[in-house]
Amino acid sequence: MFANTPKPPYYAVIFTSIRIDEDRGYAAMSDRMVELVQQQEGFLGFESARETLGITVSYWRDEASILAWKAVLEHKEAQEKGKSTWYTGYKIRIAKVERDYEK
């Protein structure tokens, strides 16, 4: 359930979003993206939760891996559909994880 990330440094993409009420193809796309992202070079894992606000944090080896994932054709189509249809608003922050600890 927690992403099993390596020792820092590595990268986090913090994606916060508010969705429309209807599905409009979102669930199927979401399942497909989860499948696809795991094949990406440099992908380290992700954590996700949604109440009204949704937060998905994906973890990456480096910035190049993040940019490569952003450019994957199917993912670009999903990004477009997200922007035009599924999300009323979102915010994406790219951050370098410098340290971590856990219980």
Does residue 24 belong to the site contacting its own copies (CB under 8 A)?
no
Phi, psi of 76 (to 5 degrees): -65, -40
Report cis status (omega within 30 of 0) of the bond before 6: no
Point out which span in 26-34, 36-44, 69-77, 88-96 binds its own copies (CB under 8 A): 88-96
Shortest gap between Cβ of 79 and its own copies (angstroms)? 10
**5 vs 40, which CB is nearer to its own copies?**
5
Residues in 36-65 that interact with its own copies by CB under 8 A = 47-55, 57
CA angle, 70 then 71 then 74, to 5°: 90
Shortest gap between Cβ of 48 and its own copies (angstroms)? 7
Contact call for residues 68 and 95 (beta carbons, < 8 A): no
- The residue behind tokens 């997200």 is 82
> What token pair was written down for 52?
């009204």
- Which residues are near its own copies by CB under 8 A? 1-3, 5, 8, 12, 14, 16, 18, 47-55, 57, 83, 87, 89-103
